């Protein structure tokens, strides 16, 4: 493949992400476009700076242009509750777009997830175990937000009801120290 110039390459990246059914790795984009992985990383940074909604997930890049409705849910659980929470959300037909925590020093921290199936959840959990990383919610004693996306309001309602049934949905009357104590910062 002949090397294409930067603007054309970035447009090709956007088209590939818009057409993809799953996240696309920088390595896969690099191979497709005949450039290095680092060139792709730089192109994605330029796309983001230009206002394009490209997110990085643990499995690759995704376009932020997704149909459906979104809702933010407040959740509270310990690390053992993470897999049950994520599976409950995807089982209702919703996508878990991200996780958000409020950090006392950095403010809002957002981790892109883009989990749509039990397979996605299992891969995320396996990666978490493999690298020994704590979830972002560890920073806030288990309290965190998830942005979820569903095809309609009924899907979002099902997701909220599923978390409530599992006792994982945080409500104003909930004790934030119910599961774990907040780490000292």
Q: Which residue segments constitute the domains of the chain, with CATH numbers given?
A: 6-63 (1.10.10.10), 69-166 (3.30.1340.20)
Please give the radius of gyration of the chain, using alpha carbons only, rounded to the nearest integer: 18
Alpha helix positions (H), the chain: 6-19, 26-33, 37-49, 82-91, 118-131, 153-166
pLDDT digits (tens, 9 = 90+) for 45-100: 999 888 788 888 778 898 876 667 899 999 998 888 999 999 999 999 999 999 99
Place of tokens 């878990």: 96
Task: Inform me whether the pLDDT recorded for 1 exceeds 50.
Answer: no
The average pLDDT across 101-114 equals 89
Helix or strand holding residue 148 (H, E): strand 143-150
Specify whether the CB–CB gap between 69 and 152 falls below 8 A.
yes
- Over residues 113-124, the pLDDT tens digits come to 989 999 999 999
Please tell me the distance from the alpha carbon of residue 158 to that of residue 2, in angstroms, as a whole number: 49
What are the two backbone dihedrals, phi and then psi, of residue 83, each rounded to the nearest 5 degrees?
-65, -45
pLDDT of residue 179: 44
Per the DSSP assignment, residues forming a β-bridge with 173 are: none
Whether residue 2 has pLDDT greater than 90 = no
Q: Is the dihedral of CA 56, 22, 42, 11 positive or negative?
A: negative
Predicted pLDDT of residue 8: 92
Which residue in the block uniquely carries the two structure tokens 């920088």? 26
3-state secondary structure 67-100: CCEEEEEEEECCHHHHHHHHHHHHHCCCEEEEEE
Of the two residues 165 and 59, the one the predictor is more confident about is: 165
Predicted TM-score (pTM) of this structure:
0.65
């Amino acid at each position: 493949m002949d090397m294409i110039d930067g603007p054309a390459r970035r447009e090709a990246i956007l088209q590939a992400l818009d057409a993809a059914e799953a996240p696309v790795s920088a390595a896969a984009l690099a191979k497709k476009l005949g450039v290095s992985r680092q060139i792709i990383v730089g192109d994605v940074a330029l796309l983001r700076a230009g206002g394009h909604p490209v997110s990085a997930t643990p499995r690759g890049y995704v376009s932020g242009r997704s149909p459906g409705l979104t809702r933010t849910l407040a959740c509270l659980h310990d690390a053992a509750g993470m897999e049950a929470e994520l599976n409950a959300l995807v089982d209702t037909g919703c996508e878990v777009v991200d996780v958000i925590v409020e950090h006392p020093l950095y403010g809002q921290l957002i981790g892109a997830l883009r989990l749509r199936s039990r397979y996605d959840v299992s891969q995320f959990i396996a990666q978490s175990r493999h690298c020994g990383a704590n979830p972002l919610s560890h920073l806030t004693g288990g309290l965190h937000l998830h942005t979820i996306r569903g095809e309609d309001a009924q899907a979002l309602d099902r997701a909220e009801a599923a978390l409530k049934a599992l006792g994982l949905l945080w409500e104003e009357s909930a004790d934030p120290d119910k599961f774990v104590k907040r780490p000292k910062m």
